[in-house]
Amino acid sequence: MATPTLQVALDLLEIDRAVEIAEEAVRGGADWIEAGTPLIKSEGMQAVRTLRKAFPGHEIVADMKVADTGAVEVEMAAKSGAGIVCILADADDTVIAEAVRSARKYGVRIMADLINVQDPVSRSRELEALGVDYINAHVGIDQQMIGGSSLDLLRRLAGEVSIPIAVAGGLDAETASEAVAAGALIVIVGGNIVKAADVTGAARRVREAIDRPEIRPREEESPDATIRRLLEAVSAPNVTDAMHRKGAMTGIVSICGRVKAVGRAVTVRTIAGDWAKPVEAINAAVPGDVLVISNDGGTHIAPWGELATHSARNRGIVGIVIDGAVRDVDDIREMGFPVFARGTAPNAGEPKGFGEINTEILCCGQEVRPGDWIVADESGVVVIPRERAYEIARRAMEVKKTEERIREEIRRGKTLSEVTELLKWEKRH
């Protein structure tokens, strides 16, 4: 079997960082270096020229995602030093044919990217007939966030074309190994190498995995378990970043300091000082839930205290969020239980029974529906609409990964504005 090629996709915005990361990836065993689409859009063909110069012994791939004017764009990439140019498989046949003619003229190869192609098998056969050199079984980053799998796409192509197949889309060492076992000759990895603090180590793990391809049995995980696992690994700030700064409650703090709660919301609406519905809601919850209580924002009288916390914990509830006050703070702190509230007050009210359980509520400025996901930590409380929970959990994880590399570059001596080229990216009006 031919040795698989490892292509590192430099999906970054800054060429200097890209070169540094590519050097580390090459040390870990990357063969081909891809100027990723975001890098090309940010830096233009200069990105390809710089990579060509910095890595004379390596193939440079220009991920142009060509959609029109196939000949011109291939010529640009070829003259800048790319040996392989990526085009969109979904582009019209006239574009593909022109791209192929241009590639032959300038001595480069064409990789067709199957992103968003409706019938990948028949399109791949057509692309082969049009003279494309490689097919890329690619599921894009946004599609990955809602569960798209490049391995599934790759498996559909097995045996359907005779040109080499590349695979890309969220691969890590484990899935890259499976991809080679499923027939991929080129393995393209972006985020799981370039966002790592230790890029060389991450590339080496993928290299070793693809050199010993195997299909490992994977344990099935329910969608809820996946969402919980991902959300438990990220912070409330990671989640709001993933939601374009939406979802955060205002004016609420952690009563117990460094605690975290992740779970589906059981909602309660009551009036200030009426603790009947909040306490009854404990029985409506299942283990892993978070009680979210709207209390008309009353902070002078507490609908929640130590006995309720004790009872909630026994029930398996993992957190309490109150748009109002809490009491018995010393006892709750001793329990170390995640309670988030607007404030504290010593007096309780009466169990009058006003309000409802599991209806839509407003809590600290955010709409919360039963079953929405809550992520609460020392930075605050964020609500994730239940229908987007998987996507947001995946995106929050990407935010966390991106920060890992930035943190590492700061540790090495750059300032945050240098790493992110802040001045260059200030909004122009």
Which residues lie near ligand LJD2ZHX5 (CB under 6 A)? 9, 11, 36-38, 63, 140-141, 168-171, 188-192
Dmax (CA) for the chain in angstroms is 84
Minimum distance of ligand LJD2ZHX5 from residue 70's CB (angstroms): 18
Q: Which residue is nearest to ligand LJD2ZHX5 (CB)?
A: 190
Minimum distance of ligand LJD2ZHX5 from residue 326's CB (angstroms): 43
**Closer CB to ligand LJD2ZHX5, 11 or 274, in the complex:** 11
Minimum distance of ligand LJD2ZHX5 from residue 194's CB (angstroms): 8
> Which amino acid is present at 234?
V
- φ, ψ at 187 (rounded to 5°): -110, 120
Q: Strand 339-344 vs strand 253-254: parallel, antiparallel, or unpaired?
A: antiparallel
- Classify residue 309 by burial, with Cβ atoms within 10 Å: 0-12, 13-18, 19+: buried
Number of H helices, E strands in the chain: 18, 18
Minimum distance of ligand LJD2ZHX5 from residue 188's CB (angstroms): 5
How distant, in Å, are the alpha carbons of 37, 325, 341 from that of 299?
51, 5, 9
**Closer CB to ligand LJD2ZHX5, 194 or 281, in the complex:** 194
How distant, in Å, are the alpha carbons of 109, 269, 318, 321, 372 from that of 362?
57, 9, 20, 12, 13
Minimum distance of ligand LJD2ZHX5 from residue 320's CB (angstroms): 37
**Closer CB to ligand LJD2ZHX5, 178 or 306, in the complex:** 178
**Closer CB to ligand LJD2ZHX5, 164 or 303, in the complex:** 164
Chain centroid, CA 429 distance in Å: 30
Q: How many CB atoms lie within 10 A of CB 250?
A: 10
Minimum distance of ligand LJD2ZHX5 from residue 9's CB (angstroms): 3
**Closer CB to ligand LJD2ZHX5, 189 or 279, in the complex:** 189
Q: How far apart are CA 313 and CA 42, in angstroms?
A: 51
> Which amino acid is present at 39?
L
Scanning the structure block, which residue is given the tokens 């011109």? 72
**Closest residue by Cα to residue 114 from 146, 91, 83, 130:** 91
**Closer CB to ligand LJD2ZHX5, 155 or 369, in the complex:** 155
Minimum distance of ligand LJD2ZHX5 from residue 36's CB (angstroms): 5
**Closer CB to ligand LJD2ZHX5, 11 or 306, in the complex:** 11
